[in-house]
Amino acid sequence: MKLANKVALITGAGAGMGLAAALMFAGEGAAVAAVDINQSSAAETASRIAARGGRAAGIRADVSMAADIKEMFARTVKEFGRLDIVYNNAAIIEEQTQLSEFDDDDFDRVIAVNLRGVYLGMKYALPHLIAAGGGSIINTGSIAGFTSFRGTPAYTAAKAGVVALTKVAGLQWAKYNIRVNAICPGPVFTPMAEGIHRRMTGRQLRPNSKMPMSASGRMAMPEEIARVALFLASDDSSYINATPITVDGGC
């Protein structure tokens, strides 16, 4: 097992990529702190892991709040005795909106969750990872961090910031045997993507929906992103640090 005797904390673990990673990490031997802003979703993920014979705890946290971040780490270490892997995955996205028409409070909220949440998740993980002798931090970026999308100014700005923060933290914390990397997905079939598609088109999004922007012609499934996260969490990626990895089907 790639993560035997490891403890992983995953934010946004109630659905989509976070849920897929939580189940996969547990299947590879990790104890998992499944964190989500929705308590019932976090508990359901933990329950699914337990039903498969794994160890898990469901924790409610708003990743934009420092007090919640500190508490989720404290609970994880109290429950499992250590912390080895942090997957800062929680994110939200705004409705398709022109920059000049964007609501200021909405902009602040997207930045708070997607960028501040990653910053806090790294900052307050640090002492626990140092205590464990090192570890791996994985941040969820996006191809939006490298290119422009007309209707998502806050999301695009936040994801570009995640890529930059990842590089800085990876360089600064290598001395502690901590690697920091980012996964930058293209289109992924998740509940968030489904909701956006339904609001924009009035139609249901399907896993095999055609994606002209992707050379593969389709969306990724959450498990395909989770396998990259597993690679970054494990010793298989022991010499990869401060690196954003695009997983976009050739967009």
Residue 53, domain CATH: 3.40.50.720
Question: Domain of 32?
Answer: 7-185+220-245
Note the pTM of the prediction, 2 decimals: 0.93
Residues 106, 195 share a domain: no
Asked if 67 and 148 sit in the same domain, the reply is: yes
Q: What is the pLDDT of residues 86-104, one digit of tens each?
A: 999 999 988 767 777 888 8
Q: Which residues contact 124 (CB under 8 A, 6 or more apart)?
A: 66, 69, 70, 73
Domain count, the chain: 2
The total of other beta-carbon atoms located within 10 Å of residue 151's CB is 15
For the cut 80, the answer to whether the pLDDT of residue 198 exceeds it is no
Quick one: three-class SS letters along 195-208? Answer: HHHHHHHCCCCCCC
Would you state the pLDDT for residue 101?
Answer: 81
State residue 137's pLDDT score.
99
Catalytic residue, chosen from 87, 155, 176, 239, is 155
pLDDT at residue 42 in the model: 98
* Strand-strand pairing, 135-140 and 178-185: parallel
- The reported pLDDT for the residue numbered 129 is 98
Greater confidence (89 vs 215) lies with 89
**Residue 119 annotated as catalytic:** no
The answer on 200 and 99 residing in a single domain is no
Among the residue ranges 75-84, 90-99, 160-169, the one predicted with the least confidence is 90-99
Q: What pLDDT is stored for residue 102 in this prediction? A: 81
pLDDT at 208: 63
Residue 79 shares a structural domain with residue 195 = no
Whether residues 175 and 203 fall in one domain: no
Residues 6+ apart with CB under 8 A from 189: 205, 207, 209, 219, 220, 221, 222
Task: Quickly state the pLDDT bin for 169 (edges 50, 70, 90).
Answer: very high
Same domain, yes or no: 111 and 87? yes
**Mean of pLDDT over the chain:** 91
